[in-house]
Amino acid sequence: MSDVLTHLSSHDPSEGCGPLLTGTREGGTSLRQEAFEYVRARGQAARTDITHALNISAGSATTLTADLIASGYLEEVESTPRETGRGRPRVALQVVPDAGFVIGIKLAFKRHIAVMVDFAGNLVADADLPSNETRRPVGDLMDETEALIRKLLKKSNKSEGDIRAVGIGLPGIVDHGSGSVVWSSMLTTRDENLSHAFARRFDMPMVLDNDANMLTLAELWFGQGRTMSNFAVVTIESGVGMGLVLDNTLYRGAHGMGLELGHTKVQLDGALCRCGQRGCLEAYLADYALSREAATALDPDMTVTNRPEDTLETLFQQAKSGHTAAETIFRRAGRYLSLGLSNVVQLFDPALIILSGERMQYDYLYAETVLDEMQKLTLNEGRKPCKVAIHAWGDLVWARGAAALALSQVTDTQIGGEARSA
């Protein structure tokens, strides 16, 4: 199975940010915005590069970039001459970093994380605050969000007026279009409009999505997905999430609430999920599911006094040392993961599935037997085996994905919204 599984290295920042391929967006994109995004994705680009990439005339490229320069979004810089390094330096264009700043936030159990990035996608500052494992009212969650934003603004020496938009990701079923949380394991109530709750505290635009989409955007903007048209991301932590990129664009479904892999049913009348239903995939894979099993498998003194994460670590160490019941828990979880992944392949036929999240430290979940069973459960006639990659990002990347969502929103409204015919 070595030709199926790969381990992706930690993020090594390269020039530019954003998708390097061009997808088809709903409603289309103005040439002005396409030119800007082409430059941002590559870090620097000459006008001739834009001309060829967008298949437009040199005059149109000059008009578009002159407008973006006059608006304060692009600037001219000297770049190294080709090949010999002699002669007149080429004039290139790059994004003006100080043209605006956005904030990205991941709200989560254990720890909330926030980052600020500039208009070119460079990290300016980060901040975090402790969280907890309990559900809370939406007002309490907004108190925590406000404290985190205040801490980040102070650390970066910025004010609310410097921020163009805020992107927030959290676990649950999120209506991206309305900014409502239909259900989240972090909240005591359902159908909460976080956009309205946020607007009562801040005079900054806010965009909301679930955390799996945030990690998928991080792959699309900063990671392996920059050069891929179709891929899926599956996350395993306090829950099981999924994000999907089709034609180089994040897919959300007709109502913005699709791809809830963790709540697909894998067993009728099965284990109880935190959503209140039974038989969900995450009820066999997520942190709380493994902890529930550990309480039965391990001696009481190994679980009663420990935090949930300590219990999971103990369970893993016991499994590695040959504890039969502990091993069985992980192998069973791996079989359910095989089932979930085979369904992803069968439904969407991605070129790559990226497995991520804190639980990827447990090699039982990507053992050869897991990937073998995934292939056996999939109709493979005429289909190349789907590649699977393990990408253990650091915590900040989730928030950077939220920042990418905010950058995309600002780009659409401020640059795409000012489009001119070239």
**What is the CATH code for 99-217+396-417?**
3.30.420.40
Mean pLDDT of 168-184: 94
Helices and strands in the chain, H and E counts:
13, 16
pLDDT of 166 > 50? The answer is yes
The CATH code that applies to domain 228-390 is 3.30.420.40
pLDDT, residue 7, reads 67
Alpha carbons 365 and 326: distance in angstroms, whole number? 13
What is the value of pTM for the model shown? 0.88
For the stretch 294-309, pLDDT in tens is 888 887 766 555 677 7
The pair of structure tokens assigned to 160 is 């609310």
pLDDT mean across residues, the chain:
89
**Domain ranges within the chain, ordered by starting residue:** 11-97, 99-217+396-417, 228-390
DSSP β-ladder status, 101-106 and 240-246: unpaired
Sheet holding 101-106, edge to edge: 123-130, 111-118, 101-106, 163-170, 206-210
Give 158's DSSP letter. -
**What is the four-CA torsion angle of 109, 361, 356, 136, rounded to 10 degrees?**
-10
Tell me the pLDDT band of 363, cut-offs 50, 70 and 90: confident
Q: How confident is the model at residue 420 (pLDDT cuts 50, 70, 90)?
A: very low
CATH of the structural domain 11-97, one choice from 1.10.10.10, 1.25.40.10, 2.60.120.260, 1.10.240.10: 1.10.10.10
Give me the torsion for CA of 269, 273, 275, 278, rounded to 10°.
0
228-390 shares the fold of 11-97: no
Confidence of residue 65 (pLDDT cuts 50, 70, 90): very high
Whether residue 280 has pLDDT greater than 80? yes
Q: Which of 232, 226, 216, 219 is nearest to 386 (CA)?
A: 232
Would you state the pLDDT for residue 333? 93
Instruction: Give the least confident one: 119-128, 328-337, 393-402.
Output: 393-402
Angle between helix axes 308-320 and 324-348 (nearest 10 degrees) is: 100
The Cβ of residue 338 has, within 10 Å, a number of other Cβ atoms equal to 22
DSSP code string of 382-422: T-PPPEEEE----THHHHHHHHHHHHHHHIIIIIGGG----
Mean pLDDT over 369-395 rounds to 85
Lowest mean pLDDT among 10-14, 105-109, 231-235: 10-14
Q: What is residue 45's DSSP assignment?
A: B
Query: Mean pLDDT lowest for which of 5-14, 210-219, 317-326?
Result: 5-14
Say how far apart CA 169 and CA 150 lie, in whole Å: 18
Contact between residue 318 and residue 277 where contact means Cβ atoms under 8 Å apart: no
Question: What's the mean pLDDT in 258-281?
Answer: 93
- Count Cβ atoms below 10 Å from residue 178 Cβ, excluding itself: 15
What are the C-alpha distances in Å from 32 to residues 49, 146, 153, 164, 284?
15, 35, 31, 19, 48
